[in-house]
Amino acid sequence: MLPQRMKKAMTDNPKKLANLIDLVNLPSTLREFMGQSQTSRLGCFKRVWSYIKENNLQDPNNKNLVNCDEKLKSVLLGKPQVELTELPTLIKLHFPKQPR
Partner 1 sequence: MGKLPPSLRSANFAVNTLIKTPSPSPNSKPHCYPKKSQPPKKKPTSNTEPQLPSSIVAFDSTSLSDAKTLFNSLISNSRNPTSDNKFYNAVLQSFSSNSTLQDSIFFLNHMIKVHPPFSPDRFTYHVLLIQSCKSVDLSLSPVHQVLNLMTTNGFPPNKVSTDIAVRTLCSLGHEEQAIELVKELSSKDSPPDTYTYNFIVRHLCKNRPLSTMNNFIKEMREGFDIKPDLVTYTIMIDNVCNSKNLREATRLLGVLSEEGYKPDCYVYNTIMKGYCMLSQGGEVLGVYMKMQEEGVKADLVTYNTLIYGLSKSGRVKDAKKFLNVMMEEGHVPDAVTYTSLMNGMCREADPLGAVALLEKMEARGCAPNSCTYNTLLHGLCKGRLLDKGMKLYDVMKQNGTKLETGSYGTFLRALCRNGRVAEAYEVFDYAIESKSLTDVAAYTTLESTLKWLKKAREQGLVI
Should residue 97 be labelled a site residue for partner 1 when binding is judged by CB under 8 A? Answer: no
How many angstroms from the chain centroid is the CA of residue 22? 14
DSSP conformation letters of 57-91: -B-SS-TTEEE--HHHHHHTTT-SEEEGGGHHHHH
Choice between 60 and 99, CB closer to partner 1? 60
Span of 16-24, 28-36, 74-82 interacting with partner 1 by CB under 8 A: 16-24
Among residues 39, 15, 13, 8, the alpha carbon closest in space to that of 26 is found at: 39
Should residue 84 be labelled a site residue for partner 1 when binding is judged by CB under 8 A? Answer: yes
Should residue 10 be labelled a site residue for partner 1 when binding is judged by CB under 8 A? Answer: yes
Span of 23-31, 38-46, 73-81 interacting with partner 1 by CB under 8 A: 38-46
Should residue 98 be labelled a site residue for partner 1 when binding is judged by CB under 8 A? Answer: no
Beta bridge partners of 58: 66
Should residue 88 be labelled a site residue for partner 1 when binding is judged by CB under 8 A? Answer: yes
Span of 25-33, 69-77, 78-86 interacting with partner 1 by CB under 8 A: 78-86
